[in-house]
Chains A and B, each alone.
Chain A
Amino acid sequence: MATIAEPVPMPRREPAGALTGDLQVRRLVIAHVWVAVVAFAVACLLGVWQMWARSPIEAPAHTAANYFRSVTLHGVSMAFVLTTFFIMGFGYFVAETALKRPVPGLKLAWAAFWMGIAGVLMAALSVVSGRASVLYTFYPPLTATAWFYIGLVLVVVASWIWCLLMIVAMRSWKAANPGQAVPLAMFGTVANAVMWLWTTVGVAAELLFQVIPAALGLNGMVDVGLSRTLFSWTLHAIVYFWLFPSYIAFYTMAPRAAGGRLYSDTMGRLAFILFLLYSLPVGLHHLFMDPEHSNGFKFLQMFLTALVSVPTFLTVFTIAASLEVAGRMRGGTGTFGWIRALPWDRPMVLATGLAFFMLFWGGGGGLVNMSYGMNAMVHNTSWVTAHFHLIFGGTVVIMYFAIAYAMWPMLTGRAFPSMKPLLTQLWLWFIGMMVMTLPWHWTGLQGQWRRIAAFDYSDPLIASWGPWVIVSLVGGIILAVSALMFVWNLVVLHRSSSPRAPVTDVPYAEAVHPPGRLPASLNGFGLWNVIVAVLMLLAYGYPIAQFFIDPPPQAVVHRLH
């Protein structure tokens, strides 16, 4: 390894920062996580039934109405409820444990929680009643009951309150600690909050100006191209909103769990900033197959999409290097020996390894999707379903498991009696996800299309997919078992039979070189907000303006209830 002449002073190390007493956000975090977990478990069971319905094996209660009701509930629960509530809960946890000070505005946080609950109930009841089977991506001019959309708006407004609380928490910490680097976990959390405020502008505009007026009967016509464009504004960055906690865990929790150091704190900050910049001006890649946008803007956003792969590639290296440090500290040698030396019996380490493996497949599928003309080969086929289940289930949710397992002892004051059920649950999730999604890639390439309630297996091509659909169903069953095990693993720590063992260790890794004084650009988001604004103007300015400059004919609103 190269050495540079100028010696760098050794960072001064002080005694471990033990935390005593209960966290002030304890109940708040537990409440948020449990809402997320319940939505997740319901959605997993619905998912299994959906795959059963599409398989050659006859499923109970199989009607088109039930199927689309189920798909809507599955999508809304996973994409809006599980994620939003988990991210908010994790954010409060990080704000108190990483900044080591009480989170401001706890009353407001609880108000946001209850607003979110009200919204979830409104949306869920609308879907269950069969008056909102429009899937979680809406598809105007199809129109559900207004309660569905208003419920979702309440969830989003609740998340905005969270965003503001996170920003305020970071600002007041900076005021109290002038010149110091914001701890990386909080820097990532606030990057996510800032990004989410930008992200939700698109869907909020679509709902407030187009969809809700149509649902209330104020508007009989809707500009579909505009609504698709506004939704696309949200549709890519929302995935990074879900992913951020996973990346925060990769950078700040996994290296600590492995017993090492974060290789580079600067790269962590850079990755978070790149996510903020490049996950927004790329949404048109969801509309490659749409007629309403020119190839020029599709090409521009394809180029920017390629750039959003950069922070992920950088993360792969930085985290591999961090784990390598840990493996070598544990006695691993050689080019690959450090991998075996890692403590794979710790949930955070195992989840990180499995997440990267699934990210390889999900990200690889994504590279095909984003490839402009090549998107025609896979658009709206099972290939895409496989891609986003690997990203969502494989990278997002498996890290949520690991984060929950890391937080739970601190929140409940009890220790897991054994790590075995946790590790088994993670392995089952991984196996189930691979078994479910690999066949989807294969059938998707042959043209198996998405979002239908059943396949007609009398057609020879569709019949040839049958066995693969059954393999996927088996994967889904394994996933559902894993999901229920996850619920049980969390329940166990609430039971008084589990050993009381208050955890005082803050679970964040220190960097090999802890950051000293940072330039303002690596310690805040002022500059980056300006750049996001410029990029969004460039990427979305004309594509949105064209609907007003040269308005296309509108579509008649179609009520689904």
Chain B
Amino acid sequence: MAVNEQAILKSEVRWAWVVAGIVAVILGAILFAALSMHVNPPSNREFVDPKTLHLSAEFTEENLGTRIDPDGRIVARVIATQFEFVPNCIILPAQRDVTLRFATPDVIHGILVTGTNVNTMVVPGYVAQVHTQFTKTGDLLMPCHEFCGLGHTQMIATVKVVPPDQFRPDASGRASCGDDR
């Protein structure tokens, strides 16, 4: 036959090079985002025992919500539990480095903040942590996005992102959404 098998394989190999090029472009863009812009998945092998979460130094009731830590970092601590977030509203400044830390005493939960790249699973046994800078202000939704039981639907919180000058922590470094919540 005039068109032999080598010719066919040659056309396939040529196509394989195109495929390799596409894969390389995508991997390159991801590497660029990871290395130069620090966009990475929220990996955090930091243990916390679900059974004694409420006794832990960090996730006791008075530590929850937004506060400025002694080292100057702005950190929001939230407990995700069947079927609510505690607290159910956190306030954070835009255009500033902030850290969100989550833990659960019971089952798997997960969070996202609508319109942002903030997203993590909250797995019992671990502190889930996301570093970010919010680029826009407003009341953003922070729902539980992983099935956690029959009440999963009602598990939803608010992230109040305010301009940096309206972010006014009190003398102890704490900030809350206010009495309307």
Contacts and interface: CB of A to CB of B under 8 A. Distances in A.
Interface in B1-58: 1-12, 15-16, 19-20, 22-23, 26-27, 29-30, 33-34, 39-51
Contact of A295 (B41, B118, B152): B41
Given A291-B42, A314-B16, A371 B30 contact: yes
A291 B44 CA distance: 5
A266 B45 contact: no
B155 to A, nearest CB: 9
Interface in A38-80: 64-65, 68
With a 10 A CB-CB cut-off, give which of B9, B23, B124 has the most chain A CB atoms: B124
Given A142-B107, A379-B119, 16 more contacts: A3-B4, A64-B153, A141-B124, A224-B123, A224-B125, A291-B121, A291-B127, A302-B30, A313-B19, A373-B41, A374-B33, A376-B42, A513-B1, A553-B124, A554-B50, A554-B125
A7 B3 CA distance: 10
Contact-residue size bin, chain A (C-beta under 8 Å from the other chain): 35 or more
23 contacts: A3-B7, A64-B152, A68-B150, A141-B107, A225-B126, A290-B120, A291-B120, A291-B128, A291-B129, A292-B123, A293-B45, A317-B12, A372-B40, A373-B33, A376-B120, A381-B112, A381-B145, A453-B152, A512-B8, A552-B125, A555-B106, A556-B50, A558-B149
Nearest to A2: B7
Nearest to A72: B147
B4 A513 contact: yes
B contact residues, range = 35 or more
Given A295-B41, A381-B145, A447-B112, A224 B124 contact: yes
Interface of B: 1-12, 15-16, 19-20, 22-23, 26-27, 29-30, 33-34, 39-51, 82, 106-108, 110, 112-115, 117-121, 123-129, 141, 143-153, 156
A291 B33 contact: no
A4 B153 contact: no
B113 to A, nearest CB: 8
Contacts of A118: none
A454 interface: yes
B121 to A, nearest CB: 5
**Which 5 A-B pairs give the minimum distances between C-beta atoms?**
A447-B114, A555-B124, A373-B39, A380-B145, A553-B49
Contact of B5 (A307, A374, A513): A513
Q: Which of A446, A553, A556, A560 has the most CB of B within 10 A?
A: A553
Nearest to A64: B150
Contact of A373 (B3, B26, B30): B30
B7 A290 contact: no
A341 to B, nearest CB: 19
Contacts of A554: 50, 124-125
B123 A377 contact: no
A255 to B, nearest CB: 13
B146 A451 contact: yes
A449 B43 contact: no
A353 B105 CA distance: 50
A345 to B, nearest CB: 29
Contact of B47 (A6, A512, A552): A552
Given A8-B4, A317-B12, A447-B114, A289 B124 contact: no
Contact of A453 (B7, B115, B153, B156): B153
A350 to B, nearest CB: 25
Contacts of B1: 8, 10, 512-513
Contact of B9 (A264, A292, A453, A552): A264
B125 A452 contact: no
Nearest to B33: A373
A218 interface: no
Interface in A377-398: 377, 379-381
B15 to A, nearest CB: 5
Nearest to B132: A376
Given A1-B2, A8-B1, A558-B107, A447 B141 contact: yes
B146 to A, nearest CB: 6
Nearest to B82: A558
Which of A8, A133, A291, A558 neighbours the largest number of chain B CB atoms within 10 Å of its CB? A291
A447 B146 CA distance: 13
A306 interface: yes
Contacts of A290: 43, 120-121, 123
B40 A373 contact: yes
Interface string A402-443: 000000000000000000000000000000000000000000
Contacts of B19: 309-310, 313-314
Interface string A286-325: 0111111111001100110011011001100110010000
Contacts of B23: 306-307, 309-310
Contacts of A236: none
Contacts of B34: 299, 372-373
A451 B123 contact: no
A470 B149 CA distance: 26
A225 B125 contact: yes
Contacts of A8: 1, 4-5
A459 interface: yes
A168 interface: no
A295 to B, nearest CB: 5
A228 to B, nearest CB: 7
A289 B110 contact: yes
A558 B149 CA distance: 9
Nearest to B44: A291
A4 B145 contact: no
A464 B61 CA distance: 36
A441 B11 CA distance: 35
A1 B3 contact: yes
Contact of A288 (B4, B29, B41, B143): B41
A263 interface: yes
A298 B153 contact: no
